[in-house]
Structure 1
Amino acid sequence: MCISISQVSRFRVHLIGSSCYERVHGCLKINSSPRLLDVRASSVDGTKNRWIRRNASTSTTTQGSKRSSNAKSSVLGGAVPITRIIDAESVTKIQQPFETLQQRLAKNKDLSNLLTVIVTDLETSGLSRVKSRIIEIAAQDLAGGVNSTFQTLVNPGVPIFNANIHGIRNDMVCRPEVPRMEELIPIFLRYVESRQKPGGYAIIVAHNGKTFDFQFLINEFSRCSFEIPDNWLFFDSLPLARDCMKSVEAEVKLKATLSALGDYFNLSRDGEAHRALSDVLLLSQVFQRLTINQKLSLSDLVLRSYTVSDLTSAIAKNKKD
């Protein structure tokens, strides 16, 4: 039976409308979460029902202020949760503090089977880190053994201006049998690799290395289009020597030069000062005594070392300054 709207009294129409209004809006006020209204409509022929999804504009009141929002839900009539899902692995990465290569390596309990300490020294054609070139290089693996020492002159391709310091003249390096740096680097790389332990790291030690030897080495590698291996670390023994000198009594305090340290530890020098091999042999002895004096462990050695990126950043900063 069909009922015409005209057959319903105005009073009853008003009650029906008010009741619907209160149900709908009362429901929305119960929960501050936005909801979607379900509307069931008849099809054109009136025989089937289907669900229609509509946007519902809701408002919530918080301390006298109103906020409106539009919400959609794939489940009709259900609350729309506001959820932020963070991947567990991402949370772990966020929580973990950044660790340098040195910090990670220092935690290894088997450092003695990973580290190879190689003491080095360079002689150069001048004091300019930009224009001067390496003219002699020497190295020694502190572990010793067969072929543990490396030494050669280098043809710099530029004049030598400080022969009065090291005694190396132009005629000594401008010879066919003396390699140029681009020829020497692959040989030096093979030497270091032959001394390294499988999967290990080489720590290249030099006295005043951060401001002198290492800068020359990095510049020469770059000029000759070679990359320094990532498993090389660099250690400057000069700060360690200065720490040692602080503990010496005031009346016998010495400069932290290599020759002064040799005298302090009563070490004999094999060869002339400021020649690469002679300085390397002396520094090998001095370095071992410094580490004992300062009670330096292998972990301490790693933590006080530099990576290539550390040194290149320092070089770039010095150029700006």
Structure 2
Amino acid sequence: IRPDTDVGKSWGIWRRTMKRVIEFFVTIFAIAMLIQYWWILLLAAGIFLVIFIIIKAKRSKTSQLKNQANSRAEKHGRQSSIDKDASLHNGSGQDQSVDVEETSSENVEPQYSHPEQLSDEHTSDELVNSNIYTNKLTSIEEDKHSELTVSNPAQYIHRLRRKLTNFVVFDIETTGLNRFEDKIIQISAIKYIKDQKVGTFNQYINPGFQIDKKIMFLTGIDNSKLESSPTISTVMPSFELFIEDLPLIGHNIVKFDIPFLINNGFSKQDINALDTYPLSDKKLPDLKNHKLPTLKKYFGIANRSHNALNDCETNAIVYQKLRDNDLNPVTIEYSNLQQVLAGKRFCITGEFMEASREDLIDTINKYGGKFTKSVSHVTDYLIDGTQVSTKLTDGVHSSSELKAIQYQKENGRIKIISYDDFCNLLPKQDQHVESIKNVKL
């Protein structure tokens, strides 16, 4: 239909009329719907308003933080310019700008590198240069064209994975588990060069207060040793001098020992460390746990526990075994010893200053006895130590003590003996389970 004909003109007029009619009815329908469902419109408007306010607040906060950061940067820039005015401007007094990278000096937390980002071929020192350490304290990298001033740089723990033959294995004893509140009472270390022991460090430390009974029996350290010992401020420089720049090796040192050192004055900025706890977990995944006494027993290490220096010796052997993939269990053969405890059942209760419970159990097994966890009517001896628990059955005796007393009254078989009584059951050449309390280290 041509638009310039009469028919075409009529068709155009009809089409425009129908369009207007449709638009009219659509408008009427929309108004009717809005009147009926006005609450939907109001709810949508409210949601939109809340979202708008949240976005506006976040943008405002971001802008404010950015302005504060810029202000601090400008402030540090001006201070640096003033400090170096004479040297940078040659006394001209001209207003020249100096670029200074801002760092925080408030945080003294150790910065931890990530072991999964290290390879056997690369040391963690290479990782430092890759600018990974940006956790809580900005990492500073000097270049040839800028001079950076760092008032209190971060202390980094670099987790090493390469094989070490020159190292220092160390251990500490503390008054508790809180590195911010508790104190170090012993630092022990052994230095190895080419896998050979070349020196030892062992120092008790006066915490400034009396340690409680539980800590005394747990560590084997009594207050008489600590009262005449130097303070941590005297010991720490000597310890740093002893370790030199050698890597540190220890068991769970990344999460416990090294943070304790840092919070007690350890000043080295870059701390190279190899932790045998995760290493043993990786290489011996089937062990029931990866505590040092468990590893000592697995590898058949005949060494006493209950003291930091002894634990250092044990830990060094454990590391060498793990490092060299010498992972087979070792069983110590005791058949050549006089089995003076054969056929006897022993139970242990309480704690001992002279030896750890693990050492007592090893000695029982060594001489043919059998250790049981609980007292029964067939138990021959209860080795009774000092009760340090706060959850004793009657406030004085442990449940094992009460059972032993009851069985004594019934059949008189069981004997309650002390640590010294137990030692008297052994052959004369081993009548002391290497009393740590009396050993001069």
TM-score by length of 2: 0.36
Q: Give the number of the structure whose residues are more often strand, by fraction.
A: 1
- Whose radius of gyration is greater, 1 or 2? 1
TM-score by length of 1: 0.48
